[in-house]
Amino acid sequence: MRRGKDAKRKENRNSGDSHFQTATHLSCYASGLLRIQLTTNFMTTSVTESEINQESARLMALGLHSKCVEGRRDHIAALTLKINRLKKEKNAVICAHVYQVPEIILGIGDFVGDSYKLADDSRGTAADIIVFCGVRFMAETAAILNPSKKVYIPSLDAGCSLSESVKAEDVRALKAAHPGAPVVTYINTSAEVKAESDCIVTSANAEKILRRIYEKNKEVIFIPDKFMGANLAKVLAKKPGEDMILWNGTCVVHEHFDARVIALYRKNYPGLAVLAHAECPSDIINAVDYMGGTGDMMRYVENTNAPAYLLVTECGFGELARIKFPDKNFIAMCRLCPYMKAVTLENVLQTLENPSKEKLVTVPPDTADKARVAIEKMFKLAA
């Protein structure tokens, strides 16, 4: 297992990412004209100081003015300029998940949202190329829904602990042990697992879809997130292990939050609104005011007026909330997802300039056909 991950990282380096990083540099010309030169495997392009200033101003106006980007703003502006030009030249769009860094979401994202929104948005695009700034299962979903388009993932390290926790043969074994029970699968899974499933759900629609499925079924197999399954079972008044058969998957980000910290913050911030993602363990969910997916959490913030919000999820969500609602107060109780953060402006640019075979996300047609049926069922039941 470990060897496999190391080999993937090596592949990633060899496919151009590190070459790009070492070849990106600032240079000052004697004429006083500052140029940022971006050199990749096959192409060298330069952008002028005035173009960088304009792009920097555009990014600032969009809200990219946190301390985190100070000192890097010209570098970021040069990259977003080049990426946006290449998108037009190649008729490409960028899907950006809300856990990505703000420079990706604000600077280059065409579609921004949670897994459900991005899957839905990708269906309507007229672009030839989709670059998915998120993790691999999301890019696979886009590839399944758009078989005639090229879908790329900018980093081979953009996996997901939930997706990697369950394989197609595990699902077949569950089905054999519980004949007749429909398999309801969280979208954070591989194409092969989706192909073995009856219906896909996201955190935004799992409760609604499960309610409808339970209308005709007593027992349901829910995979792979054991915490989300237990949280949903509680909301739906179902018994885990009896009415709802669960798998043992967890999210490496959400499984580690500590409910004691929530209690401490509540003491110090009267009126604090605490929101947590449905992938958190039940002791966290029992301690919060609202559980949902990221889209639901953002709407909750928008529609309420708490003196402060504690957001229990990946850090990118808090960064985006601060930018979207500058007049509201946010406390970060967050963890970084190593898979989401493997995507950078540098490897997005490299992917658009010189896409490697490894980053092209393909799904065998028979697997894609079966998985598409389960995903389309989600869109139907969530409507």
Q: Which is nearer to ligand SF4, 103 or 279 (CB)?
A: 279
The letter for the amino acid at 62 is L
Give residues with Cβ within 8 angstroms of 44, minimum separation 6: 37, 38
132 binds ligand SF4 (CB under 6 A): no
Whole-angstrom distance, CA of residue 181 vs CA of residue 244: 9
Instruction: Calculate the alpha carbon distances from 25 to 36, 46, 155, 211 in Å.
Output: 7, 11, 21, 55
161 binds ligand SF4 (CB under 6 A): yes
Q: Which is nearer to ligand SF4, 77 or 135 (CB)?
A: 135
Exactly one of 114, 157, 192, 314 binds ligand SF4 (CB under 6 A); that residue is 314
Residues 196-215 that bind ligand SF4 (CB under 6 A): none
294 near 300, Cβ under 8 Å?
no
Alpha-helix runs per DSSP H in the chain:
2-14, 17-23, 49-62, 73-90, 102-107, 115-123, 136-145, 161-164, 168-177, 191-195, 206-214, 226-235, 259-268, 282-286, 294-303, 315-324, 345-353, 365-382
Quick count: other Cβ atoms within 10 Å of Cβ 72? 12
Exactly one of 246, 247, 339, 382 binds ligand SF4 (CB under 6 A); that residue is 339
The letter for the amino acid at 58 is R
Binding residues for ligand SF4, total number by CB under 6 A: 13
As measured in angstroms, the least distance from the Cβ of 137 to ligand SF4 is 8
Exactly one of 36, 52, 105, 135 binds ligand SF4 (CB under 6 A); that residue is 135
Q: Which is nearer to ligand SF4, 80 or 189 (CB)?
A: 189
Please report which helix (H) or strand (E) contains residue 94, including its range.
strand 92-97
Residues 75-114 that bind ligand SF4 (CB under 6 A): none
Q: Which is nearer to ligand SF4, 160 or 368 (CB)?
A: 160
As measured in angstroms, the least distance from the Cβ of 192 to ligand SF4 is 17
Exactly one of 23, 60, 252, 261 binds ligand SF4 (CB under 6 A); that residue is 252
337 binds ligand SF4 (CB under 6 A): yes
244 binds ligand SF4 (CB under 6 A): no
Exactly one of 108, 253, 275, 312 binds ligand SF4 (CB under 6 A); that residue is 253
The size of the chain, in residues, is: 383
374 binds ligand SF4 (CB under 6 A): no
DSSP states of 269-333:
STT-EEEEETTS-HHHHHT-SEEE-HHHHHHHHHH---S-EEEEEEHHHHHHHHHH-TTS-EEEE
Q: Which is nearer to ligand SF4, 196 or 279 (CB)?
A: 279
Which residues of the chain form contacts with ligand SF4 (CB under 6 A)? 135, 160-162, 188, 251-253, 279, 314, 337, 339-340
